[in-house]
Amino acid sequence: MRYFTRHTDLPEDARGASAAIGNFDGVHLGHHAVIDLARGASDRLGCPLGIVTFDPHPREFFAPDTPAFRLMTPRAKAHRLAKIGVDLVYALPFDAALSGLTAEGFARDVLANGLGLRHVVVGADFCFGTGRRGTAQDLEALGAAMGFGVTVANLESFATGDPVSSTRIRSALSDGQPRDAAAMLGHWHRVEGPVIHGEARGRTLNYPTANMALDGLHLPRFGVYAVLVDVLDGDHAGSYHGVASLGVRPMFGVNTANLETFLFDFSGDLYGATLSVALVEFLRPEATFDGLAALISQMDGDSARARAVLATL
């Protein structure tokens, strides 16, 4: 997959795609439905499959003080899109210039002249242009005038008949229901990023952990989870089972949320490596304990439960 952060001065072989447009936070089943329509058009037209997305998310641009809500980082989103066969990702910087384009200007300057798209797929609720005045129906008319096809996708429904949405997925994660979130995502919810230096406290407890920041991400329910871990690079690249603590570590008075993951049957240095940690099952809430011996005993129990859960997958 090829990744671009602009819509101008592209190589010719990076233009002319059939592309789905949207934020695609989480790359959930509703997004899959939209992307599959773009895939069908790319097969029919013999052109690449593309994604047009935005970074930062427009909500972050217009309301920078909004609480963190993203389900994944741009890098994690790119990895997920690559896994489902996307050829080209255009992660356009959402700034004053882009947000100031009219609906017609966006269609002309970005989609037609810049990216040279042959076909575009959007959700039925798609809005674009200054003040979000452009609708999916407006895009159909503009595409017809500017030489690219447009398909408007109905929102994908979940088993309950309700639309699958990033909002419902965030709610499931906030409730400590990662399996419900996974059912809507079509994959496990993952936290992806580099391993950072922590306080090395886990090593003294015989539970060395890989620490990861959660900056800018929606925070699932704080507590302990059974997890699947992919080490994406470095000497220890591979897949592992583990147990993770997500939260602020009240036992030690820490206030910044992070993710601490203990990999089962692993020995090695993971500092600087990129991990992808999938939340599989919520085991218990965060808690404080009457001394380190009680904490270690609880961690032993958490590990045993996590191993049992993961053995059933």
Read off the pLDDT of residues 40-54 as tens digits, 9 standing for 90 and up.
Answer: 999 999 999 999 999
Q: CA 192 to CA 241: how far, in whole Å?
A: 15
Q: What is the pLDDT of residue 122?
A: 95
| Mean pLDDT, rounded, for 161-173 | 86
Q: What is the pLDDT of residue 12?
A: 96
Q: What is the DSSP letter of 130?
A: G
Question: Could you report the per-residue pLDDT of 60-107, keeping only the tens digit for each?
Answer: 888 888 888 999 999 999 999 999 999 999 999 999 999 999 999 999
HSE-up (13 A, CA, CB side) for residue 240:
23
User: Chain-wide mean pLDDT for the chain?
Assistant: 92
CATH code of the domain made up of 2-153: 3.40.50.620
Residue 252 has pLDDT above 70, yes or no: no
DSSP string covering 41-84, please?
HHHHHT--EEEEEEES-HHHHH-TTSPP-BSS-HHHHHHHHHHT
Q: CA 280 to CA 76: how far, in whole Å?
A: 18
Q: Look up residue 264 and give its two tokens.
A: 């089962």
Q: Do 189-311 and 2-153 fall under one CATH topology?
A: no
Task: Determine which one of 156, 260, 281, 286 is catalytic.
Answer: 260
Gap between the terminal Cα atoms of the chain = 29
DSSP string covering 271-293, please?
TT-EEEEEEEEEEEE----SSHH
Query: Which phi-psi region, left, alpha or beta, contains residue 223 (left: φ > 0; alpha: ψ -120 to 50)?
Result: left
Question: Could you report the per-residue pLDDT of 13-36, keeping only the tens digit for each?
Answer: 999 999 999 999 999 998 998 999
Residue 198 has pLDDT above 90, yes or no: no
Using an 8 Å Cβ cutoff, are 281 and 225 in contact? yes
Least confident interval from 33-47, 131-145, 153-167, 246-260: 153-167
Q: What is the pLDDT of residue 291?
A: 82
| Mean pLDDT, rounded, for 281-301 | 91
243 SS3 class: strand
| Mean pLDDT, rounded, for 280-291 | 91
Residue 202 has pLDDT above 70, yes or no: no
Neighbours of 40 (CB within 10 A): 15
Whether 260 sits among the annotated catalytic residues: the reply is yes
Residue 301 has pLDDT above 80, yes or no: yes
pLDDT category, 159, cuts 50, 70, 90?
very low
Q: What is the DSSP letter of 109?
A: I
What residue segments make up the domains of the chain, in order of their start?
A: 2-153, 189-311
Tell me the fold of 189-311: Elongation Factor Tu (Ef-tu); domain 3 (2.40.30)
Q: What is the pLDDT of residue 99?
A: 92
